Structure 1
Amino acid sequence: MIYSEDNHSWSYALFSAHLHRYMPRLKWEQHQFIYQQWCNYHLPKPLHSNLIWNTDAIESLPKAEPSILVLYHLGMHAYIPQILAENNIQFDILMDRKVFAKHQEEMSALRDLCHEKGTLHSFLMSDDPSVLLKARTTMRAGRHLLIFADGNSGTKDTLERKLKVSFLESSIYVRKGIAVLSFLLQMPIVPLAHSVKDGRYYLFMGEEIFRLSHESREDYLLRSMQLLFQFLANQIKDEPWRWECWAYLHVLNCYKIKSYITPNFSLKLAENIHIQLEERKGIFNRKYFCYQFE
């Protein structure tokens, strides 16, 4: 539910605040419709399905040099490893240990399915002190490394240890692990996404990202992460409901809230909405992420 009586849900309030932060040209009254689309789009889906996928755009991957394949939480991210496996693409997956534990059943099903194809060899954990050595082993064995660029995974770095990149109409602080691995292992980065047309799903690759000659480490880290999030922005700028992460950006430590003088909490302003927090009614300002109890 988006709201109960005149009280919007806390999840909707945060979703709307994040949407406004990165897409401020959207009218406030559009947010409820987009949120409902988002809720419907991200309903749980069975791991096994009869979806029709076109993979012509990735036909070069099985014989390509080992790359870091980057996924995003765009609704079909649970299926894409299966599609890669079905197309005989060899890969390991690097992910957060807590995420792996939370989705143990899905991960086990994915492992079983991929093992039937002989494609997924192992899961690497991001907090493993030897993860770099294991990633190097993956590369030397001729396998790709599959990693999510967004979402609640990876190390809990402070903002100071992250990279600030442009994203849609604002900026976002992102972890640089993908770029660091690419730099150290000299592996190119290949972003992956999907589109839908006439009931058919199309898996495609973005432009390959690699270090330029004489490019410094810091310049490459920033440029590569900027390109990865520009690719993501291009996928959601016209269909924002596709991105799962709108709901939990506040727990990813990926933005700074601007300082402000106490805002006007008048409900005559569209940015203010009724919500209930800790069983008390109040007003939430979606522009400044602040709350006032009634």
Structure 2
Amino acid sequence: MKNNEINELYNSIQNINIFESDKWLHDFNFISASIGTLLPKLSFNEHLKIAKKSAFYQILSSRDERNYDLIRQIKKIDFNLKKRILVTFHYSSYRLLNSLLISWSVPFKLVADDNYIKKQGDSTIESYNKIAKELGVKAYDFEIINAEERTVIFKCLKAINEGYSLVFYADGNSGIGGMTKNQKNIIKIPFLESSLYVRKGIAVIASLLKVPICVILLKRNILTDSVEIFCEEDIDFPENRKDENDLKACTINIFENLEKRLSEDPGQWEGWFYYHNFIEFSQNKPKGNYGSTSIFNNRFYGVGKLSGIFYILDKNTLKLIPISEEVYLELLNIIKHNKIEKDFPLLKSLKKEKIIINI
């Protein structure tokens, strides 16, 4: 992907007006809610920047997966990547990792949930073989192991014994159900300035297989057209898979790597688009700190449309308040122009709830 193409993509994302698109506005409401909980000191304008940057890197990652010039120039890291549990996140140009492992002749199998396999399984396998062919390297017996099948442990053990590594995306929680799905497999960990519900399966599998964990993150620099690789070598596997404290400590250790990257550059994480399903939102509304010069309190509220239903979103509780189309259009007009008519029927009640604020 050439620099001018990257610049065109970046500018096209920056020029998006989220208030002109029902889908963008709806997605942004939940992105903003997540940012407000995990990084509460950031202003609404920072939320906008992070959302657009995240969308940019989401697209760039897909294009970088087959950016062969970039792939060839990245040197293999000085670490044994075979017969390991390799963990990464949907951060920056994350799709490059598979391509790099192929380029470096590292045999691996991907471990993913049923939702991923149904939606992207065939295309992922096809992509693996095409990339290996284009790079002129050996294509190993690549497969995607279903993390939700009972045979997952046996398949993972077989892969390790045959010299393969196992690749996991620790934040691969985009499936339906959120924190209510398979609760026995989910634990709560501290994260940034709040907490997340995450899967403990990686720690469990590592404990069962007695295999060390290596966390790898990629950070794309579009100015220099380069990639920086962050690698934490050999996180110890939990000695006792039934010890919840050991599993939690291992999982926290894994996620600390993402936490550090987000503290430095939150805009490169794709997870903002779906991680509201795994955040426990507070029932207590923060006082002050609106962080906005808008009459509409867009720091703590959003308006949107979903499947023909118009709503106000309380970003602190993630609760939707149904409203009429007339009220929705009036609020959208207030947001767009930062101006309100004094005869707006709901002015008094919205001010009382601090959805409309004085500036």
- TM-score between both structures, scaled by the size of structure 1: 0.85
2:35 maps to amino acid: L
Deviation at 1:144, TM superposition (A): 1.0
Name the structure with the higher helix share: 2
Alignment of 1:1-294 (within 5 A): 1-4=17-20, 9-43=25-59, 45-46=62-63, 47-49=65-67, 50-52=69-71, 53-56=73-76, 58-62=77-81, 66-103=83-120, 104-114=122-132, 116-152=137-173, 157-159=181-183, 161-197=185-221, 198-211=224-237, 217-251=243-277, 254-259=278-283, 267-268=296-297, 270-292=299-321, 293=323, 294=327
| More displaced stretch, 206-215 vs 278-287 | 206-215
Deviation at 1:68, TM superposition (A): 0.5
Q: Secondary structure at the match of 1:208?
A: strand
Asked if the contact 2:238–2:250 (Cα under 8 Å) also holds between the matched residues in 1, the reply is no
Asked if the contact 2:304–2:311 (Cα under 8 Å) also holds between the matched residues in 1, the reply is yes
Q: Secondary structure at the match of 1:43?
A: helix
Residues 1:78 and 1:189: Cα distance change in structure 2 (over 3 Å): same
Q: Which has the higher contact order (CA 8 A, sep 6+)?
A: 1
Residues 1:220 and 1:119: Cα distance change in structure 2 (over 3 Å): farther
2:109 maps to amino acid: D
Q: Secondary structure at the match of 1:60?
A: coil
Name the structure with the higher strand share: 1
Q: Secondary structure at the match of 1:117?
A: coil
| More displaced stretch, 214-223 vs 165-174 | 214-223
Deviation at 1:205, TM superposition (A): 1.2
Asked if the contact 2:189–2:195 (Cα under 8 Å) also holds between the matched residues in 1, the reply is yes
Deviation at 1:167, TM superposition (A): 0.8
d(CA) in 1 for partners of 2:312, 2:230: 43
What number of residue pairs does the alignment pair up? 287
Asked if the contact 2:91–2:269 (Cα under 8 Å) also holds between the matched residues in 1, the reply is yes
Deviation at 1:129, TM superposition (A): 1.8
Asked if the contact 2:115–2:175 (Cα under 8 Å) also holds between the matched residues in 1, the reply is no
Residues 1:212 and 1:43: Cα distance change in structure 2 (over 3 Å): closer
Asked if the contact 1:73–1:245 (Cα under 8 Å) also holds between the matched residues in 2, the reply is yes
Asked if the contact 2:185–2:201 (Cα under 8 Å) also holds between the matched residues in 1, the reply is no
2:205 maps to amino acid: L
2:75 maps to amino acid: T
d(CA) in 2 for partners of 1:169, 1:129: 36
| More displaced stretch, 196-205 vs 177-186 | 196-205
Asked if the contact 2:109–2:143 (Cα under 8 Å) also holds between the matched residues in 1, the reply is yes
d(CA) in 1 for partners of 2:32, 2:239: 43
Gaps of 5+ in 1: none
d(CA) in 2 for partners of 1:216, 1:6: 46
d(CA) in 1 for partners of 2:29, 2:241: 42
Q: Deviation digits for residues 72-95 of structure 1, max 9, x if unmatched?
A: 101322221110111121211111
d(CA) in 2 for partners of 1:279, 1:213: 51
Gaps of 5+ in 2: 1-16, 288-294, 328-359
Asked if the contact 2:44–2:299 (Cα under 8 Å) also holds between the matched residues in 1, the reply is yes
2:266 maps to amino acid: P
Asked if the contact 2:206–2:238 (Cα under 8 Å) also holds between the matched residues in 1, the reply is no
Root mean square deviation of aligned Cα: 3.1
Asked if the contact 1:95–1:153 (Cα under 8 Å) also holds between the matched residues in 2, the reply is no
Asked if the contact 2:241–2:247 (Cα under 8 Å) also holds between the matched residues in 1, the reply is no
Deviation at 1:188, TM superposition (A): 0.5
Asked if the contact 2:87–2:169 (Cα under 8 Å) also holds between the matched residues in 1, the reply is yes
Q: Secondary structure at the match of 2:235?
A: coil
Residues 1:109 and 1:190: Cα distance change in structure 2 (over 3 Å): same
1:210 maps to amino acid: D
d(CA) in 1 for partners of 2:161, 2:171: 26
Q: Deviation digits for residues 187-225 of structure 1, max 9, x if unmatched?
A: 111111112452211333114211477897333211110
